[in-house]
């Protein structure tokens, strides 16, 4: 494919935007080449400025569970915009979306809106610290909770370690209060609490990880997190920004029956507009200002346009009785088909899916944490990404990201994708 206009657009962007992009993964550094500039989307398809069309499995990194430009969502945004884009006052739309969330997410009795998932996770940690009057937090290597300082921490050389900054600009003092342990390692969690339990305010975890590729929790692992957190009177936070409304109406907590104290949300609840939320037990949420001492504010929190898009999306999610069954059938069809094609071409791989979220690693051994994920063949993924792009399939430009299916995808889209994968790997193998 010829991406001449995208190449020109990227050159223009780099003159005025740092790195030419407003979110690092968009720069294609992990796969090489020039980022593709999109101009429109409809249903399961997106179109770029060079006139190419792609079946989209990124879906704005997860929010578009109904596909691009769903008519009900577009109507709702248009109507809200006509009434005014922002007031800086309460609106009834905030309560309506909050009621939908509280009705569907098991842990959420009260909720607060933010403008992003990063903001939601940052505020949830602040709330947990204020509620427990403790400072340390536990996070898991490879789990992504946004770009706030407490989350940009990498593990040291052992399974139990206080974190070290993995980005310039993150103070060592922040890292000193973050304990980083491997995902799916129950013993490391026990060790962390044995040493620091009385100081740990919260454990924050992606209940199924989507930002080192899709990694599912081992059987009973989330229940173990719940038991240990309860034992030490520590707040358990599920970061369901990605998994919320993706793997089930009530997220992973509905799917597994493990209920956290606080939950962070984003993506789907805004229907494609900027939004985040954190919520949980009324007792803990009562510690927020104006009722309690833990400060929270935001000029555009509960923005009317985001609320309108979220309401339209979640009403469809609530009322479509077969939505999740259909989504999981399509996702399984795609994942099983990829597994067969990778086998056919002797490509070492691991595949997984949950609800409408899927992932695969070009790795020979099972992937359960960041260390095993990093053994993937990223060079092969880069070749595969570009070969699929040439065949009209848009995948995440990184081996270490989950993919998504929407209600707009069809069986024919899946079949076309599998045919493209077969052809792409044939081409890659022939070039070796």
Cα(193)–Cα(258) distance, rounded to whole angstroms? 20
8 A C-beta contact, residue 143 and residue 237:
no
Are 253 and 402 contained in the same domain?
no
**To which H or E segment does residue 368 belong?**
none
Cα(180)–Cα(168) distance, rounded to whole angstroms? 18
48, 177, 239, 369: the active-site residue = 239
**To which H or E segment does residue 360 belong?**
strand 357-361
Are 225 and 253 contained in the same domain?
yes
8 A C-beta contact, residue 195 and residue 160:
yes
57, 139, 261, 267: the active-site residue = 267
Are 357 and 210 contained in the same domain?
no
Q: What is the pLDDT along the chain (432 residues), one digit of tens a residue?
A: 899 999 999 999 999 999 999 999 999 999 999 999 999 999 999 999 999 999 999 999 999 999 999 999 999 999 999 999 999 999 999 999 999 999 999 999 999 999 999 999 999 999 999 999 999 999 999 899 988 877 877 644 333 345 567 778 888 777 889 999 999 999 999 999 999 999 999 999 999 999 899 999 999 999 999 999 999 999 999 999 999 999 999 999 999 999 999 999 999 999 999 999 999 999 999 999 999 999 999 999 999 999 999 999 999 999 999 999 999 999 999 999 999 999 999 999 999 999 999 999 999 999 999 999 999 999 999 999 999 999 999 999 999 999 999 999 999 999 999 999 999 999 999 987
Are 145 and 244 contained in the same domain?
yes
CATH of the domain at 335: 3.90.1150.10
8 A C-beta contact, residue 382 and residue 32:
yes
Domain boundary among 319, 346, 372: 319
In the chain, how many domains are there?
Answer: 2
Q: Active site includes 390?
A: no
144, 183, 221, 353: the active-site residue = 144
Question: If 0-12 CB within 10 Å is exposed, 13-18 middle and 19+ buried, where does residue 89 land?
Answer: exposed
Strand partners, 165: 153
How many CB atoms are located within 10 Å of the residue 86 CB? Answer: 12
Are 259 and 151 contained in the same domain?
yes
The DSSP-derived string for 3-72 is -HHHHHHHHHHHHHSGGG-SSGGGG-TTT-S-PPPEEEEEBTEEEETTS-EEEESSGGGTT-TT-BT-HH
Cα(339)–Cα(427) distance, rounded to whole angstroms? 18
Q: Active site includes 344?
A: no
Question: If 0-12 CB within 10 Å is exposed, 13-18 middle and 19+ buried, where does residue 377 land?
Answer: middle
Q: Active site includes 239?
A: yes
Are 43 and 140 contained in the same domain?
no
Are 248 and 344 contained in the same domain?
no
Does 272 sit behind a cis peptide bond, omega within 30 degrees of 0 on the bond before it?
no
The reported pTM is 0.95
Q: Whose CA is closest to 160, among 189, 133, 186, 139?
A: 189
CATH of the domain at 128: 3.40.640.10
Are 12 and 127 contained in the same domain?
no
Domain boundary among 292, 319, 346: 319
Q: What are phi and psi of 268, to 5 degrees?
A: -60, -35
- pLDDT value at residue 217: 98
Domain boundary among 277, 297, 319: 319
Q: Whose CA is closest to 120, among 106, 136, 101, 140?
A: 101
Are 134 and 252 contained in the same domain?
yes
- pLDDT value at residue 37: 98
Q: Tell me the chain's radius of gyration from C-alpha atoms.
A: 21
Range of the domain at 364: 4-69+321-431
Q: Residue 308's Cα: distance from chain center in Å? A: 21
Are 32 and 43 contained in the same domain?
yes
How many CB atoms are located within 10 Å of the residue 48 CB? Answer: 19
Find the length of the chain: 432
Are 333 and 301 contained in the same domain?
no
Cα(414)–Cα(421) distance, rounded to whole angstroms? 10
Are 230 and 325 contained in the same domain?
no
- pLDDT value at residue 163: 59
Neighbour order of strands in the sheet with 45-48: 38-42, 45-48, 53-56, 393-394
302 DSSP 8-state letter: T
């Amino acid at each position: 494919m010829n991406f001449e206009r995208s190449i020109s657009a990227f050159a223009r962007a780099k003159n005025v935007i740092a790195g030419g992009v407003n979110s690092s993964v968009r720069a294609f550094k992990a796969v090489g080449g020039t980022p593709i500039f999109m101009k429109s989307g409809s249903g399961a398809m997106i179109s770029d400025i060079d006139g190419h069309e792609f079946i989209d499995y990124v879906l704005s990194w997860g929010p578009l569970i109904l596909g691009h430009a769903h008519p009900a969502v577009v109507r709702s945004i248009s109507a809200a915009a006509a009434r005014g884009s922002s007031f800086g006052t309460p609106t009834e739309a905030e309560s309506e979306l909050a009621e939908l969330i509280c009705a569907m997410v098991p842990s959420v009795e009260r909720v607060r809106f933010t403008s992003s998932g990063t903001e939601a996770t940052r505020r949830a940690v602040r709330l947990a610290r204020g509620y427990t009057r403790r400072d340390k937090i536990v996070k898991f290597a490879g789990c992504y909770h946004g770009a706030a300082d407490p989350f940009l921490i990498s593990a040291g050389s052992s399974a139990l370690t206080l974190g070290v900054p993995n980005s310039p600009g993150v103070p060592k003092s922040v890292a000193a209060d973050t304990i980083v342990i491997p995902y799916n390692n129950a013993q490391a969690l026990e060790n962390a609490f044995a040493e620091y339990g009385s100081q740990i305010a919260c454990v924050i975890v992606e209940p199924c990880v989507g930002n080192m590729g899709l990694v599912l929790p081992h059987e009973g692992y989330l229940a173990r997190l719940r038991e240990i957190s309860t034992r030490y009177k520590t707040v358990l936070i599920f970061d369901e920004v990605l998994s919320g409304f993706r793997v089930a109406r009530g997220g992973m907590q509905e799917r597994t029956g493990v209920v956290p104290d606080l939950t962070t949300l984003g993506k789907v609840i805004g229907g494609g507009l900027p939004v985040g939320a954190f919520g949980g037990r009324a007792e803990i949420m009562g510690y927020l200002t104006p009722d309690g001492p833990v400060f929270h504010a935001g000029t555009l929190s509960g923005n009317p346009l985001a609320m309108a898009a979220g309401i339209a999306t979640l009403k469809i999610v609530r009322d479509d009785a077969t939505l999740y069954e259909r989504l999981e059938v399509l996702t399984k069809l795609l994942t099983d088909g990829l597994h067969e094609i990778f086998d056919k071409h002797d490509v070492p791989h691991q595949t997984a899916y949950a609800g409408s979220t899927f992932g695969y690693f070009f790795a020979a051994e099972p992937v359960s944490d960041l260390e095993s994920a990093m053994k993937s063949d990223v060079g092969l993924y880069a070749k595969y990404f570009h070969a699929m792009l040439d065949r009209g399939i848009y995948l995440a430009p990184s081996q270490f990201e989950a993919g998504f299916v929407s209600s707009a995808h069809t069986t024919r889209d899946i079949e076309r994708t599998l045919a493209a994968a077969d052809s792409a790997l044939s081409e890659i193998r022939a070039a070796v």
